[in-house]
A = this chain, B = another copy of it.
Amino acid sequence: MADSAVVEPRLLRGLRDLLPDQMRARQQMIDTIRGVYESYGFVPLGTPSLEYLDVLTGSAGQEANQSLFRVRNPDRTEREQTEDPTERLGLRFDLTVPLARVIAQYPNLPRPFRRYQVASVFRADKPDPGRYREFTQFDIDSVGVESDLADTEIIAVACDALSALNVGPYQVRFSSRRVLNLLLEFAEVREPITLRWPKGTTARHMADESGTRAARDVFRVLDKLDKVGFERVKLELTAGYQDESGDMIPGLGLEDSQVERIRAFLAVEGERRDDVLRQLRELFSGLPDATAEIDGLARISDRLGGLGYAEDRVRLDLSIARGLAYYTGPVFEARLMEAPQYGSVFGGGRYDDLVTRFLGQRIPATGGSMGVDRLLAALVEKERIRLVPSTAQVLVTTLDPGLTDEYLAIAGELRRAGIRTEPFLGKPGYGQSKKQFRYADQCRVPISVVLGGDEKQAGVVIVKQMDVGRQLTQQAGDRAAWLEMRPGEIRVPRADLVAAVRERLRLLGE
């Protein structure tokens, strides 16, 4: 062990291995989501993990971004990479920028281009518990569609995916980022917002640094609402205040009448989408631009209603636009009602500036991102997903080395019947039975098949239901006892093995 050449097996903090139980559950989730996305005709896209740094950040030399993992370009010397920023490489930090690059690079792709991508993304930020430096994103986007049909579809497909994942009750809330423009107009905050694409950021994942100063400041303050409450927000919108620690929080200098209008907007809410729309129409009745905008939200709401997405799972909630102010049109996010502490498990919106950094022109786009890791953690906590470290449904024990061919034949027979089966490949022997059952137990394989010389002669096999043993053990408090007791065992004629195993699995719901 104390070899000087021995390397310590370890990972950079913030990175992690996904052991089989985690990996399996995640894979099943991804398959389910993929199935739903493909049922809508979305197509898969693959892009490399590595991109040029200026592609990622929006312009060469722009490297303040601490989130990026830098990669050395193998085709250039260190010096060449220092001198020419367009030669630098990094790992992708989202799947939106690579999509934008693909749209710009392949002008002959069909339009609309409706793609999904599930892949690792990388962030070099300081890791926190539950926040990793490499994690999976599952994105879905429609590029090239101006119509809010595309936004409606993204909301519908997200609902269908969450339903298929059996996440329990969930709620997708939507709004439009343009409602905030109307609010500024309504509250007579004079500067209109002209959203520019922020350098080194992306719509979906980084904070907004764009817009004119007035708009940005108002949104920044409104974003604190849930945390600090309206009274402090009001102070910050007007004259400013001094907080507990003595810090001066500057005010934006709005009039009381302006704040009243903002307060009236913040009060627009309701369980029924029609109700929210009605209030909004009333509130903004004096604004000429409001009708078209509210009609758009009504269209999304009506279409979703027509398709069966009722109020219980799709709400019109104007407050979400505050948190997603960097989008350019409809915005949406989904929460699990049983696990609200996990926050948004799906989020997105329209971002028509996607490809601007490459083409210098706007291309309409809308889409969202499913947080696979977050969803999995929530579903495991709520016991909606069992983490099982095996794929095998049956372990064929290998008690008699002389019967090895028979064990392999049994495994093949079960497999041909569609039953996932593993012969025990470790040490065979009657003396190894405890060890073999412990292995089945550790991997949570539900059924073991046992065949010794006696059984072979009698033309039978033993089918052992592992959880019966586990239950008895828990009662007896002795983990090893059941191995001797042979509970949950049935002897069946060798010819009936497949049928017997299949019936057991059916009863177990496997």
Which residues does A use to contact B, with CB under 8 Å? 1-3, 5-13, 15-20, 22-24, 26-27, 38-52, 54-55, 58-60, 66, 69-75, 86, 89, 91, 100-102, 104-106, 109-112, 114-115, 120, 122, 124, 133-134, 142, 144-145, 147, 149-150, 152-153, 199, 303, 306-308, 357-361, 389-392, 395, 404-405, 408-409, 411-412, 415, 418, 420-426, 428, 439, 442-443, 445
Asked whether A425 lies within 8 Å of B145 as measured between CB atoms, the reply is yes
> What is the minimal beta-carbon distance from A347 to any residue of chain B, in angstroms?
21
Q: For A71, what are the chain B residues with a Cβ–Cβ distance below 8 Å? A: 69-72, 91
Q: For A424, what are the chain B residues with a Cβ–Cβ distance below 8 Å? A: 112
Asked whether A6 lies within 8 Å of B359 as measured between CB atoms, the reply is yes
Most buried by B among A5, A7, A124, A439: A7
In whole angstroms, what is the CA distance A259 to B283 when docked?
97
Asked whether B303 lies within 8 Å of A12 as measured between CB atoms, the reply is no
Asked whether B69 lies within 8 Å of A50 as measured between CB atoms, the reply is yes
Q: For A24, what are the chain B residues with a Cβ–Cβ distance below 8 Å? A: 43-44
In whole angstroms, what is the CA distance A105 to B122 when docked?
23
Question: Can you give 12 contacting A-B residue pairs, CB < 8 Å?
Answer: A6-B358, A6-B360, A7-B60, A9-B105, A13-B75, A15-B48, A17-B47, A23-B45, A41-B390, A50-B134, A69-B74, A71-B72
Asked whether B74 lies within 8 Å of A6 as measured between CB atoms, the reply is no
The 4 closest A-B pairs by CB, nearest first: A41-B422, A41-B392, A18-B46, A20-B43
Q: For A105, what are the chain B residues with a Cβ–Cβ distance below 8 Å? A: 9-10, 17
Q: For A134, what are the chain B residues with a Cβ–Cβ distance below 8 Å? A: 48-50
In whole angstroms, what is the CA distance A454 to B272 when docked?
36
Closest to A22 in B: B46
Asked whether A110 lies within 8 Å of B443 as measured between CB atoms, the reply is yes
Q: Which listed residue, B18, B72, B145, touches A47 by the CB 8 Å rule?
A: B18
In whole angstroms, what is the CA distance A22 to B89 when docked?
25
Q: Which listed residue, B44, B114, B408, touches A425 by the CB 8 Å rule?
A: B114
Q: For A445, what are the chain B residues with a Cβ–Cβ distance below 8 Å? A: 41
14 additional contacts, CB 8 Å, given A16-B48, A40-B422? Answer: A1-B359, A6-B357, A9-B102, A11-B52, A18-B45, A23-B44, A23-B46, A41-B391, A49-B91, A50-B122, A112-B425, A147-B428, A303-B408, A308-B412
Asked whether B41 lies within 8 Å of A357 as measured between CB atoms, the reply is no
Asked whether B20 lies within 8 Å of A45 as measured between CB atoms, the reply is yes
> What is the minimal beta-carbon distance from A6 to any residue of chain B, in angstroms?
5
